[in-house]
Amino acid sequence: MVETNQGPHPRERILDASEALFAEKGYEAVTIREIVKAAGCNVAAVNYYFGQKRNLYLEVFECRWIPRAYKIQESFRENLRKSGRSDVEGIIRAFAMAFLEGPFSEKERIRHSQLMAREIARPSEAFDLIAKKVMRPFVRELVELLRKALPAPVRDHELILILLSIFSQIIYFTFARRPVSLFTGKRYTSEFRENLCDHIVAFSLRGLGMGNGGCS
């Protein structure tokens, strides 16, 4: 846990350390003393670089979370391009993969989802930021892609609910590891994560009425 990240500039170390702590415990539960200890610098450093604790939290989103979110979106487009398919299954798989197997370490992906989940659960100023800069445009993009890919016209309203249903599963399976492991009896190995990814894609594809399984 004690991440005596001695490498880069203190400001960066504080951003890294505090993001991990905010994600894990939530804003209020984290103390400045804890942060600077993990970042390997002095108590005064947070106030020196960020003025106050609250600013640090917002800077974590500005300097870490949002750039990473853009990379995830980029990874989605890359997945789609590489798969060479723009059908519904291709889109859903690229979407799920971008979150579940994206261009980051396991730890970083969890951190990312946790911070988002916290803002979803109890929105703060940070929510408005990511809603505007990240969520809104991405939802728009996905809706456009899906609309083109679907054989029959579907109402935007319905399409959005479907997207949210897919997204809810992605969030849950990244976030709720404890109950998922409890009920499935499996630890989060890379094999199991692949398994989950396949499940989400298959379930959602059928959920969209595009699946091949089960219809008799």
Partner DNA sequence: GTCTATAGCAGGATAGAC
Partner DNA sequence: GTCTATCCTGCTATAGAC
Give the binding site for DNA (CB under 7 A). Answer: 9-11, 30-34, 41-48, 51-54
- Round to whole Å and give the CA distance between 132 and 73: 15
Question: In the bound complex, what is the minimum distance in angstroms from residue 56's beta carbon to DNA?
Answer: 8
206 binds, among its own copies, DNA, none (CB under 5 to 8 A by kind): its own copies
Contact 181, 187 (CB under 8 A): yes
112 binds, among DNA, its own copies, none (CB under 5 to 8 A by kind): none
Binding of its own copies at residue 172 (CB under 8 A)? Answer: yes
Residue 59's SS3 state is: helix
Binding of its own copies at residue 90 (CB under 8 A)? Answer: no
Task: Give residue 47's identity as a one-letter amino acid code.
Answer: N
Question: In the bound complex, what is the minimum distance in angstroms from residue 87's beta carbon to its own copies?
Answer: 14
Binding of its own copies at residue 18 (CB under 8 A)? Answer: no
Q: Which two tokens stand for residue 82?
A: 């590489």
- Round to whole Å and give the CA distance between 159 and 164: 9
Q: Which is nearer to DNA, 6 or 86 (CB)?
A: 6
For residues 88-100, b (16+ Cβ closer than 10 Å) or e, as one string?
bbbbbbbbbbbbb
Binding of its own copies at residue 216 (CB under 8 A)? Answer: yes
Binder of its own copies out of 168, 187, 191, 194 (CB under 8 A): 168
Binder of its own copies out of 114, 115, 134, 146 (CB under 8 A): 114
User: Torsion angle, CA of 87/91/92/97, rounded to 10 degrees?
Assistant: 140
State the CB neighbour count (10 A cutoff) for residue 191: 10
Binding of its own copies at residue 153 (CB under 8 A)? Answer: no
Beta strands, E only, the chain: none
175 binds, among DNA, its own copies, none (CB under 5 to 8 A by kind): its own copies
Binding of its own copies at residue 54 (CB under 8 A)? Answer: no
Q: For residue 43, what are the CA distances in angstroms to 16, 32, 33, 38, 98? A: 16, 7, 6, 11, 37
- Round to whole Å and give the CA distance between 97 and 183: 23
Task: List contacts with its own copies (CB under 8 A).
Answer: 24-29, 114, 117-118, 120-123, 127, 131, 135-136, 139, 151, 157-158, 160-165, 167-169, 171-173, 175-176, 178-180, 182-184, 196, 199-200, 203-204, 206-211, 213-216
